Amino acid sequence: MFYAKDSSEKIADIPEASGISYCKNSGTLVVANDEGWYYEIDTNGKILNKDRVRKYDLEGVYCEDDRFVFAVEDRGLLIVNRKTTKKKLIEIDTTYRNKKLDIFSKKSGLEGITKIGEIYYLAKQAKKKKDSLIVAVKLNRNRAKIVGVLKPKIADISGLTYHNNILYMVSDKKDLLIKYNIKKDKLIEKIKLPKTAQEGVAFDDKGFIYIADDDGAVLKYRENEI
């Protein structure tokens, strides 16, 4: 196992930071928190905008050119227009191969989100690695349907991102950054992180990696130190 250098820089104070994503078109980051707040910050941590969606526990976020897509722990996907802040909740049809998948619960619901091509990948929290689950979801205008399942056998997956053809996960319980081959449904490498409360992970296009820390921070590393 590779051990990352403890060389992170705290760039922002974000209470209960629960997810993070890099916005390629604006060169900014969006950070979600457990109380329904979301923040857009620059890569040095300056808060540019913030807003709140009441009633929702935001556990992950994916940034697109015109919208944010949030993973809501016990509900589904929340779409927020970046320009107008108009919001729309999309429930997920949990049926897969004629069976209902248990992906929603207040204690072990959705925790991470990323997108590969036209498919969203959502991680369900699981305290035991045998119960870990990532679902592939196709999102249409008013409907989201599960079209695939990964079983990575990683306890407490709390964040996802896709970078250089590799699916990255963070495990809060184990303080791990995991590299995963999504086509083969196979683990590539485990990287031990300094002990924090990792809840989200993102890469920018300048060689930096960002960790959303549930203890109230956004941490920044150089990619070559991870």
Q: How confident is the model at residue 5 (pLDDT cuts 50, 70, 90)?
A: low
Q: How confident is the model at residue 106 (pLDDT cuts 50, 70, 90)?
A: low
Q: How confident is the model at residue 117 (pLDDT cuts 50, 70, 90)?
A: very high
Q: How confident is the model at residue 226 (pLDDT cuts 50, 70, 90)?
A: confident
pLDDT of residue 104: 81
Q: How confident is the model at residue 74 (pLDDT cuts 50, 70, 90)?
A: confident
Q: 3-class DSSP state for residue 131?
A: helix
* pLDDT of residue 182 exceeding 70: yes
The predicted model gives 204-220 an average pLDDT of 95
* pLDDT of residue 93 exceeding 80: yes
The predicted model gives 38-62 an average pLDDT of 95
* pLDDT of residue 22 exceeding 80: yes
**DSSP code, position 115:** E
The predicted model gives 167-196 an average pLDDT of 91
**Among 4-18, 40-54, 117-131, 208-222, which is the least confidently predicted range?**
4-18
Q: pTM of the entire structure?
A: 0.94
Strand-pair partners of 216: none
User: Is the CB of residue 103 less than 8 Å from the CB of residue 133?
Assistant: yes
Q: How confident is the model at residue 107 (pLDDT cuts 50, 70, 90)?
A: low
pLDDT of residue 129: 85
Q: How confident is the model at residue 126 (pLDDT cuts 50, 70, 90)?
A: confident
Distance CA 205, CA 2 (A): 23
Q: What percent of the chain has pLDDT over 90?
A: 75
Distance CA 65, CA 169 (A): 23
User: Which one is predicted more confidently, 134 or 108?
Assistant: 134
How far apart, in Å, do the first and last CA atoms of the chain sit? 12
pLDDT of residue 2: 42
The predicted model gives 44-64 an average pLDDT of 95
Distance CA 169, CA 180 (A): 8
**DSSP code, position 205:** S
Enumerate domains of the chain plus CATH numbers. 2-225 (2.120.10.30)
The predicted model gives 24-44 an average pLDDT of 97
CB neighbour class for 164 (10 Å; exposed up to 12, middle 13-18, buried from 19): exposed
Tokens 């922002």, located at residue: 12
* pLDDT of residue 39 exceeding 90: yes
